[in-house]
Amino acid sequence: HGYEGATIRKIAEEVGLSSTALYMHFADKSEILQEICRQAFEALLASHRTILADDVPPEARLRRMTRGYVDFGFANPDAYRLIYMTRPGEAAAARNAAEGVGADLFETFEVLVRQLDQAGRLKTDVRTTTLAIWAGAHGIVSLVITKTYFDWGDRGRLVDVMVDALFSGLME
């Protein structure tokens, strides 16, 4: 329901507890939202670490990672909105999680981009390439989950075209 719509009462109803019982586990709404953010980042990070460990070329792993990031956003739009699309002044919880586990998540992209750089594959520097891939993935997720009235066509095809365009523009 977004930051504004996430009331203690609604959260308690969703998890099948009373508001009083919820306060036995969390001090306030911010603490609950921070836990939601942490769990979302942890789920993405676990997926990325599995991909990092695969014995395939870095570009193939980076493509899978980018696609997995997008698929996570599509499958978990409310959590995605909270961790990536909440204004900083509204939810310090999202920022706290982003500065911790979220930074580790970004690093998983950067590890693979560094490997591509070491192989002489990049057209620009590691940081810019990593940011461009992440921003492209975020852009497609944020547009699709917020503009539900728009006909996006075949989302899988759209994501494939976006990833192909990013990679062909950023790599040799």
Structure tokens at 1: 């329901």
**Residue for token digits 């070329």?**
57
- Mean confidence (pLDDT) of the chain: 89
At 39, the pLDDT band (50, 70, 90 cuts) reads: confident
Does residue 99 surpass a pLDDT of 90?
no
Q: Which residues contact 169 (CB under 8 A, 6 or more apart)?
A: 123, 132
Q: What is the pLDDT of residue 97?
A: 62
pTM score of the predicted model: 0.86
**Distance, CA of 171 to CA of 25 (rounded, Å):** 48
Tokens 């365009």, residue located:
165
pLDDT-based confidence at residue 9 (cuts at 50, 70, 90): confident
- Residue 35's pLDDT is 80
